[in-house]
């Protein structure tokens, strides 16, 4: 039977191990996201590989790539440039079609 102190010691060891894993995770993320534009191309799998762990081990500590960015960098992740450009191009295209239709109907 375990005593109270044994339970506390094992809990403290788990807390220490979890803190060490988080520190390793933050260091790997900061290293791989150090250059501008790398957030879009470096994913959880690459960060896990850098750590020598599985993606599941990463997700045991964070819930998403954006969550890891916030943890590692201390602020919101950058907007995904290519995805934003695609949405803006699509919106601009719709606006142009609607403007053309409005002019044609007004004439």
Is residue 57 within 8 Å of residue 51, measured between CB atoms? yes
Distance CA 93, CA 99 (A): 10
**Domain 4-76, what fold?**
Tetracycline Repressor; domain 2 (1.10.357)
pTM score, whole prediction: 0.62
> pLDDT tens digits, the chain, 107 residues: what are they?
556 666 667 778 888 888 899 999 999 999 999 988 888 889 999 999 999 999 999 999 999 999 999 989 887 767 666 666 666 677 777 776 677 677 778 76
For the chain, domain boundaries:
4-76, 79-107
CA-nearest of 97, 89, 43, 92 to 66 is 43
CB count, 10 Å around CB of 44?
A: 17
pLDDT at 49: 96
Helix or strand (DSSP H, E) at 105? helix 81-106
């Amino acid at each position: 039977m375990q005593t109270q102190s044994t339970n506390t010691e094992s809990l403290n060891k788990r807390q220490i191990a979890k803190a060490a894993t988080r520190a390793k995770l933050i260091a790997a993320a900061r290293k791989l996201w150090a250059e501008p534009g790398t957030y879009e191309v470096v994913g959880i799998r690459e960060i896990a590989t850098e750590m020598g762990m599985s993606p599941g081990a990463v997700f045991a500590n964070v819930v998403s790539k954006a969550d890891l960015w916030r943890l590692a960098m201390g602020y919101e992740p950058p907007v995904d440039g290519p995805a934003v450009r695609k949405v803006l191009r699509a919106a601009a295209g719709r606006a142009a079609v609607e403007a053309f239709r409005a002019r044609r109907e007004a004439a």
